[in-house]
C-alpha cells in the first residue's frame, strides 16, 4: 500500500524555523511531482510549493524567499524548509504526490495525513 507519512510540525516563535518531512512508501516506481499545501481555519486549501520531475520548483508569493522545497530521491522524501515564520503561516500542512506504481503506469495522486504548524506571537 502506498502512503505518505508527514512529520516536523509543531509550535515555533515568530521568526523561527521548522522543517517538514514527507516520506513515501509502498509500490512506487517514480514520481511526477511533489507539493506542499496548507489550510488555515476557515480558509481554502493553498498551494505552498511544488517541485517537478525535472527538479523545477515554484512557490506561493507569500512564502518566496522564506520556504524551500527539496527532495531526496533515494529516500522517496520531500522536505519543506520554513524559515522566518510569521503569524500568518499557521495552518495544517499537507504533502501531496503525483506518482506511478510501475513503468508507464497511470498517474496516481496521494495525500499525507497533515502536520500542524503553529506560530506564537
Work out the burial of residue 79: count CB atoms within 10 Å of its CB; fewer than 13 is exposed, 13-18 middle, 19 or more buried: buried
Apex CA 39: angle with CA 49 and CA 99, to 5°?
A: 45
pLDDT digits (tens, 9 = 90+) for 24-72: 999 999 999 999 999 999 999 999 999 998 889 999 999 999 999 999 9
pLDDT digits (tens, 9 = 90+) for 86-116: 999 999 999 999 999 999 999 999 999 999 9
Work out the burial of residue 52: count CB atoms within 10 Å of its CB; fewer than 13 is exposed, 13-18 middle, 19 or more buried: middle
CB atoms within 10 A of CB 68: 16
Q: Do 67 and 83 touch, CB atoms closer than 8 A?
A: yes
Amino acid at each position: 500500500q502506498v502512503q505518505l507519512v508527514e512529520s516536523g510540525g509543531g509550535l515555533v516563535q515568530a521568526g523561527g524555523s521548522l522543517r517538514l518531512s514527507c516520506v513515501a512508501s509502498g509500490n512506487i516506481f517514480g514520481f511526477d511531482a511533489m507539493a506542499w499545501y496548507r489550510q488555515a481555519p476557515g480558509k481554502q486549501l493553498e498551494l505552498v510549493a511544488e517541485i517537478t520531475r525535472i527538479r523545477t520548483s515554484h512557490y506561493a508569493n507569500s512564502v518566496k524567499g522564506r520556504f524551500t522545497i527539496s527532495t531526496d530521491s533515494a529516500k522517496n522524501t520531500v522536505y519543506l524548509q520554513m524559515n522566518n515564520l510569521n503569524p500568518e503561516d499557521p495552518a495544517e500542512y499537507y504533502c501531496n504526490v503525483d506518482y506511478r506504481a510501475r513503468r508507464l503506469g497511470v498517474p496516481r495522486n496521494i495525500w499525507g495525513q497533515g502536520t500542524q504548524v503553529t506560530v506564537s506571537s
